[in-house]
Amino acid sequence: MIHSDFGFPEVVSYLARSGWRRSLAGDFAEIWQYLLDENVTVMVPKIENAPDFSKSVKLLTRELAQAENRSSIDIEQEIFRQFLDVTDLRADGDQISDGTIPLGAGINLFNSASRLMVSAAAATIHRQGYYGRSIPHAAHDHARRLRLGQTRPGSYVVPIISNARFGAAIEYRRDEPRLDVESDDQRFERRVLSTLSRALQTLAEMTVVRDRMPTTADILSSVDEGVSSELCSAVLGVIKKGVATFDVTFKWAPAAPVPIDLSDHIVFTNESVLAVDEVKAKLKKSKTPTEQVVFGVIRRLSLSKNEEKGRVHMETALNGKSRMVSFTLDLETYRRAARYHGERRPVVVTGILDDTPGKGATIKIRSFDIDRSVAMFDDDIV
């Protein structure tokens, strides 16, 4: 089960979402009142480096458990994961019982966990049907930053823990949107999980939901959603090895905005092995071009009279620095871009990036959308 130390921000975030309100704030502690019983209050310590902080938090969780009629362990776990996304990988089958799994199947599950995250991180940086040895170093670095929670019952569940503590990526100066590069970089882990959710859902729709083998056109278009030969290998690494069902559940951090229009639960069965194998093989042989994925905020738009295409200038982060990238959109998509600009939504584009030194960066667009890995407004973030 997930358990670790946590601090004042996690406690306050939990209380604000669990029917408590702050009634008194001081330099060293705060008093919170239970909305269901105003006679019940708890003291929340604020100084995390104080010698008695851990002891005070333990007392606090016991008082919360008594007030909410829940176990203190459950409350501690919820407080701990306020700013953490948890991705549960679950294997099930005849050989899996009593919270145990055959050694070989267990090793494959853990190996596939790493491969899933690396492939999703790679697809968050650029889309490619088959990476081979060209997986970006940043994708491997990302996987090394992730944490594994303790395995737990429920067939056999392996939780992967990633950070969801990020600030507002967009700043406003006189109502003009500006990208905060540091905050935008903090969102990478959330974007990886969003890519993983979309890619796995697309793969499941092709190989599990449909009653026919996917066509070549289906397979090649799935690359736009983050599907790759490596992602297929990670799924096959589980369902090919004595596991009847493999499912992935995304539990988004309570204190961070929930991604838009993404599936929280995707299931694969060993009956889909042939279809997933087919997708893997065709993507490995495909010659799909490498396309950059660029996240950012629209700064300017221009459309001349009687023109059929509009120009968009987007601020993004390239190599850790703020850059302007321009591209053209057809009229229908341009109107969407103008709406997103007015609504102050972050966006994401995919295409061939030209970042030649000494020239303005441009991108030949294949796809344009809102950034679904974050909520509509940065003000939603606690």
- Going from N- to C-terminal start, the domains of the chain cover 8-80, 84-285, 291-380
pLDDT computed for residue 100 by the predictor: 81
pLDDT computed for residue 170 by the predictor: 65
81-108 pLDDT, tens per residue?
999 999 999 999 877 777 788 888 889 9
Could you tell me if 314 and 338 are in contact, meaning their C-beta atoms sit under 8 angstroms apart?
A: no
Q: What is the mean pLDDT of residues 278-299?
A: 91
Q: If pLDDT is split at 50, 70 and 90, which confidence band does 51 have?
A: very high
Q: What is the mean pLDDT of residues 321-339?
A: 94
Handedness of CA 274, 277, 282, 288 (dihedral sign): positive
Model confidence at 187: pLDDT above 70: yes
Model confidence at 220: pLDDT above 90: yes
Q: If pLDDT is split at 50, 70 and 90, which confidence band does 362 have?
A: very high
Pick the CATH number of 291-380 from 1.10.3720.10, 1.10.533.10, 2.40.50.140, 2.120.10.80: 2.40.50.140
Q: What is the 3-state secondary structure (H, E, C) of the chain?
A: CCCCCCCHHHHHHHHHCCCEEEEEECCCEEEEEECCEEEEEEEEECCCCCCCHHHHHHHHHHHHHHHHCCCHHHHHHHHHCCCEEEEEEEEECCCCECCECCHHHHHHHHHHHHHHHHHHHHHHHEECCCCHHHCCHHHHHHHHHCEECCCECCCEEEEEEEECCCCCCEEEECCEEEECHHHHHHCHHHHHHHHHHHHHHHHHHHHHHCCCCCCHHHHHHHHHHCCCHHHHHHHHHHHCCCCCEEEEEEECCCCCCCCCCCCCEEEEEHHHHHHHHHHHHHHHHCCCCCEEEEEEEEEEEECCCCCCEEEEEEEEEECCEEEEEEEEEEHHHHHHHHHHHHCCCCEEEEEEEECCCCCCEEEEEEEEEECCCCCCCHHHCC
Antiparallel, parallel or unpaired: β 84-92 and 156-163? antiparallel
CA pair distance 35, 209, nearest whole angstrom: 45
pLDDT computed for residue 168 by the predictor: 63
pLDDT computed for residue 19 by the predictor: 95
Average pLDDT, the chain: 89
222-242 pLDDT, tens per residue?
999 999 999 999 999 999 877
Model confidence at 376: pLDDT above 50: no
Q: What is the mean pLDDT of residues 69-79?
A: 92
Model confidence at 2: pLDDT above 50: no
Q: If pLDDT is split at 50, 70 and 90, which confidence band does 258 have?
A: confident
CA-to-CA separations, 338 to 311, 313, 324, 332, in angstroms, rounded: 11, 11, 17, 10
Length of the chain (residues) = 382
Flag whether the pTM goes above 0.85.
yes
Q: What is the mean pLDDT of residues 26-43?
A: 95
Residue 124: other Cβ atoms inside 10 A:
27
pLDDT computed for residue 345 by the predictor: 87
Between 241 and 303, the higher pLDDT residue: 303
CA dihedral 266, 267, 268, 269 (to 10 degrees): 180
262-273 pLDDT, tens per residue?
999 999 999 999
Residue of 2, 266, 262 whose CA lies nearest to 158: 2
What residues form DSSP beta bridges with 269? 245
Model confidence at 182: pLDDT above 60: yes
Q: If pLDDT is split at 50, 70 and 90, which confidence band does 174 have?
A: low
pLDDT computed for residue 382 by the predictor: 33
Could you tell me if 90 and 155 are in contact, meaning their C-beta atoms sit under 8 angstroms apart?
A: yes
